[in-house]
Every structure is written in C-alpha cells, then in structure tokens.
Structure 1
C-alpha cells in the first residue's frame, strides 16, 4: 500500500478503513481514472488495473468456468455462459475475456475454414487459436482499416480476384454493427471499382451507411506515416488502431509482388505493406493478415511454412508479418 501512498490501511486518506490479517494481500480499487495514475506513479514491474472503458463486470461466477482453455482435455468444454481469460498477445502483454460458448463457436469456425479446395497446403500455415485472438483484439478497437485487392488476373480487366472485396464488405458490415469506425483501402488504380462495390452494397442493404474508400499517395515510410498518423495534442496519433489485410497482395523477400503462378504483378500494386511495417513500431496499432496461399499481406509470420509446403512458395511467400495470421480456404 505504501507504494500507492497509503501509509496505514486502518486510517486511509480516502475511503473506509480496512482490517487485515497477516498474509493478506491488500488490493487498491480506485475509480477508472485514478487507478491508472496510481499504478503509473508506483513504477511497479508488473501491475493490473482497470481503465475508463476497459472494466469488465459479470453476474456469472468465475469459478464455474472450469479449466482454462489451454488446460482442458481434447473435446472438454466449460460452462457455455462462463467467462474465460484469453491471452491476446505477448508483446505487448494483453488479455481479454470471452464466454466459453463464444470461444467454442469461434474455434469451430476456425476448423471449418481450414478446408483447402484448391489443395494449396494451407493446413501447414494454420496458427491454432489465431481467429479468436484476432477477433478479441478487434473487439477492443475503435477504428479499423480493411485493406484488400489482389490483381492476379493480369490479362483481364479488372484484374482483381473476387474473394477479397466481398470478405472486406462482410467485415465492414460486422464492425459497423459493433460501432467501429471503418474504412476500406485498396490500390489507387482500383479505388473507383471499390467505391462502385460499396454503392451496390448500400443499395442491397449489406451496408447500413457508406464506408469510405481510401488510398495511399506515394511510397515509402514517409507516405505511410502521412497516411496512418495524424497530428494530435500529444504528437502523432494513429487514425486506425487495427489494420486488417483480406486477400491483399503482399511483398515477397525480394520486394516484388507475385501471384500464385510466380508472375510479378508489382506494376498493379500500391505498397500498402508499408502500413504493416509502420504499425509494428507504432504503439496501439495491431495488424491481421487473412489469406489462402501464403503470398498475401501478413503471411510473413508463416513464410517458412509457405516456402516448404506451398507450390512456388520459395518465390511467392510474403515477407511482411502480421500480429495475427489467419488462413482460410
């Protein structure tokens, strides 16, 4: 208690006195604002507190949750409505809460989307539990940028694959329903097409309101900073706190962009990868990559598996990693 300025538990400056026995661990429960300040001023090696907008309250007893997910036997489930704690990331160390039932449903969905109709070997790229971790991270976001566009059909017009944009729109609709701010990013060359797709989605009722389509001007980290960051009272702050690449062309180790047939499509691709590199060094910004072949943005985290198990993987493997990597056939 002394670290927080409480010299005597029986006579605190604020609040009620506390009776404690030897061996008891006192817990300082402050309001959402002062709790953060108290913990920061204490300079502790490890501490936990709540913050404005980050408090969790439940009427379900935690002890009814059963074993934590990592300690359950295969097929064993906890009580569906009980909460469980999930480690979302190690660096920075972040945890989130989800009901056992919701977690089980997400894990089941993750297993289903590992179907590989194209026999591309995506099972070797799968990171178990990543879908739940990405979903929980997104649940804490306020503003999300969805990046899509893979111009693989170089002899056709337009050259875009057709799985990325619909997936991006589905995510946009879901995130909007959760109250998130959402924008779509693609190549400047394809921005008009993407805006037409958004217009159709509005007309068909897929979207409840227009989602802006944005592009990045220029190349390199300066262009990425101008796109991702905006000036705030305490310095540059991110416009988005989560970047999601959905079937988006990603740069290989040689800096080129390849389709599955090893054709360099770089002349059709804007370097939106730079946003993922910048996000790695920007506090408060997470990234997710979704793909089905290993040459998509964000697949750099499993690039060794891509090179070993995916056809042409030694050439096409994306070298740009994401915090969360989701494979789906």
Structure 2
C-alpha cells in the first residue's frame, strides 16, 4: 500500500459470529478501554472495599485492600468469559454452557453483585434445556442457533446444580414468581425444544423425581452416574455408574434439598416437608455408609451386601 500526504492510518481487525457481516464503527483503543471499564463498573454494582481509617501498625492494609479492588476487575473479566462460553473456567475455547459450570462461576458472580435480571434469564435458559423424557440435563449444551449440539449424558451431580442455582436466586431476590413461569423442555432425541410448556415448579418436580429414582436401592445416596465434579474420574466400568457413590455429590444433594426445602415452606408446604425429610434421610445414610472409622470416604461401591471404601485411609 502507498499513502501520500497521510499522517495516520488505522487498521481494524474484526470477527463475526455469523456469515452476515455487521457494520463496523471506527473506534480507538482508548474508547474501547473506556467502554469496557464502564461495563465493569456497572457489573460490579458499586462494589469497592475501603478502610474506615488508618489502623495503627497496619499501614500496609490500604495497599492490600487496593489490590483486591484491582483484582476484582480481573475476576469480572474471567466471569464474563465464563458466562459467554462457560465450558470450564480453564477452557477459554469453550463454545457451550456446561450445565454445572454456568451454575457455578458466572451465576455466583452475578449473584454476588445482585444482578437479578441476568440471573433470572440464566435460570430460564437452563431449565429450558431440561430433558422432557427423564428430567435430567445434558453435560453441556449450545445456547444459540446451534442449540441442538449438546452432550446428553451427564455426571451424577449435574442434576443438582440447576436446583442449587434456583434456590440461591430465590433466597437472594425473593422472586417466587419465577416458579410460575411456563417453559419448554428439550427432547432427548434430536435435542429440539418441545411445544409443551410447564411451569418452572413442574420442571423442578421432574428434577427431584429423577434424583429420587437414581438413589442406590434401599438408600438415599445418589448413584455416581457418569462421574462427579472431577471430570477425570469417569467410571471405566459401566457397572460403576449404578453401584458407586460420590460422597461429594451426596453432600451437595443434602445441602440443596435442605436449603430449597426451607425456602419453599411458605410457597409449597407439602414439597417443602418432602425435601426436608429426604435431606434428613440423606444425612443419616451419609453417616451410616460413607463415614467409616470417623473418616469420610471419597467414594463407596456397593457390591451385594459388601461396601468397598475408596479414597479412604
């Protein structure tokens, strides 16, 4: 390229998410930085740590507090990436919503800063991807025009995370009306959305029924399924899906049933009591089966009348 009588040249590199090009508005790094900082400050909802005054002997505290204020911006950037394509925080190339992942980092981030409209929209999107046929969720799913791309098998703890997110949201916002929202399901074959709509509360009942139906027979311990939070520990033997238990998943289920049961007391007393009773039974079986010699087992495996303790001293 040759330029005559030109003192400045701007080169813009753009990328598009669709085949249709969008108009590109000229901008500068300074303008984009300012726009990003404006978004961050809005997302943080006025959050800033300050000291009430000088603390004798702790003069370096002010510097440490400012470090936290700075690093919150970095956390916010990570949360935003995770929210846009949360396929694991360490997997920045993800292109789907991991059901567990989006209910953790991004959801908890917006919960901390009381961004209830975003949280509500996230919950409705997540529950629309619940399978009509069994009440479970895919391990991950696309959420845009590629919504039919998803992984229908999932780890044993995945079913619990949407309920935890819903429970935390209601506790923080007091928005019980969300339970009356009518939502579609997803078909497990073909992954198309259903024409049928039911209230979010009906979705929740289907979700709870799935958890109940996947207790180890004679117990209130959830079976391992295709894994738990540690994605590297997937069962090599398919039989382990129905005979092994993750102590971590059991404690998560206990926590969510107890907390959601407490929050439902004024909304649905019958389901509230049902959840609280199950939570008590889960706790009882956890102490009976998973704790051996005063030490919690990472996993246990039921083999007939025998229990094998795994990840236990």
| TM-score normalised by the chain length of structure 1 | 0.25
Q: Identify the structure with the greater strand proportion.
A: 1
| TM-score normalised by the chain length of structure 2 | 0.26
